[in-house]
Structure 1
Amino acid sequence: MKHIFIVNPVAGKGKTLSVIPSIKKYFEDNPGDTFEIYLTERRGHATELAKKAVSEGTGRIYSVGGDGTLNEVLNGMIHSNFTLGVLPMGSGNDFIRTLCPGINPHDLTVEQVVEGSEKIVDCAKANDTYFINVASVGFDAEVAENMKLFKKIPLVKGALSYILSIFYTLVNLKPYTVRYAMNDKTGSSDYLLIAVCNGKYYGGGFMPAPNADLNDGLFDICHVKSVKRRVVFRCFPKLKDGTHETMRDIVSMHKSNFIHLQSDQEMCLNLDGEIFKAKDIRFEILPSSLKILVPKISS
């Protein structure tokens, strides 16, 4: 069997490179299968590498990096005869939290991932781009976008850039007026955020969709209406532990196999950690469309 590893060398503050010797050693100790390792060089390169790698034959292709790397690899290999594996090395690693509940993503080994079992799961699409975990529009996407401003400042990194971005986004808060349509409902309102979820987690462990299921053929959709700035801080702890549905005056949850969002202003869209902008976005679930490796976890 062919094994293709696509490694983002800057994910996880460069720690991804440290896993390469472990990959090589695994296949030295387990001869028979072939393996190839490719390093990404720019945004979008993982998609290019994946498309080329899966153009012939069958095998397994692994994303070695964070959720953004996973999204790029997915968009290069979807609809191929390859199975997708995830070796989480980023800062968030949110998809693997749904795939392997209760584990620390950074504790997963090459052996556990390569020797995992194959499972067929749902995938999703936002306009022409595929995603596997969570797509969100609004405040949280703006925070992710604005982090780029603070990361350019010397000595401002990681958690500090995230905190500064939250306050900056809050000061400049401009809710989106969004028209939406899904299976059982249409409407229009001002929203703080809308999260369209295949998986449970995003943003480094926040849980917008505690009941999401990778195999049910449905999105779990979280609507948070526009609120005053001080109320935003009440939302964060509840989004973190998945109890936000108790805030029924501002939060509503829905299940649907599609949702169509339209706005007169450009919406900031966070797609598995990748940022896009659009005024018209159609999300659709693609049931049982992806073969994925579930890491082997010792009981």
Structure 2
Amino acid sequence: MNLCDERVIRAVLARHGFHFSKSLGQNFLREASVPQGIAEGAGLDENTCVLEVGPGLGCLTRELCVRAKKVVAVELDARLPAVLADTLSDMANFTLVQGDILKVDLSALTHEHFGASRAVACANLPYYITTPAITTLIESGCFAAITVMVQREVADRICAAPGSRDYSAFTVYINYHAQARKLLDVPRDCFIPAPNVDSAVVRLDLLAQPPVPIIDKAMFFRVVKAAFAQRRKTMRNCMNAAFGDKLTKEQMENCMIYAGIDPSARGETLSISQFAKLAEQFLV
């Protein structure tokens, strides 16, 4: 069954009386090269298990199943289990869990289904839960890699370099936890119904340790959040707004200088190493 063939898609939907849910951000793939590219880029082999978020009709799921040891999909829409039982009936290594990826106990789920096997996550995420879903997958500590399809602008932010317009606090968060790279672009006409934006697939390879020494994680991210709170403001102004109740302007300037940061620079120009050095200075 070619689940990326529009005629097949419409036949499956009609057979099950299924209608797309705008509130769930449902858009199903109809270009076969996309799920193939995602599965090939996800780093799968016969010893790797996959957690898939939002399997839809099972288009990507089939590609994952033929490459991986086992695939467990988490699906929120209560209408889809019956559809997937139809479209994936021949996939013996597939298991469906109905639930909300933001609420599922990922540690318990992966332990139950994957045991000690290497685990990765793959997802075609609804755009309205992109950031919390990626954060949830990262913070679970369960996965060696996470491959996600997101809005193209989000992919640009994830993979941005310091000094670029797309560089953000979320970029720094990703860089703290993973090495990110874009695998492929996915035009909007690859979906049915077509969304209003283009997409891209990004792979995150999780790091065992942050890429630079971090003494206090909470302080590090407090500094990062403050630096991007007002993008057009200088570091001097951003840090004063966040830490002015604890440090004098002179003390803050000295901290930035000791960290090798120009107080007149903007946060979007700083590397993760510079943020780490500044956070360390604020702890002294």
Fold similarity call, TM over 0.5: no
Q: TM-score, normalised by structure 2?
A: 0.38
Q: TM-score, normalised by structure 1?
A: 0.36
Highest RCO, 1 vs 2 (Cα 8 Å, sep ≥ 6): 1
- Larger fraction in strand: 1
- Larger fraction in helix: 2
Give the structure with higher Rg (CA): 2
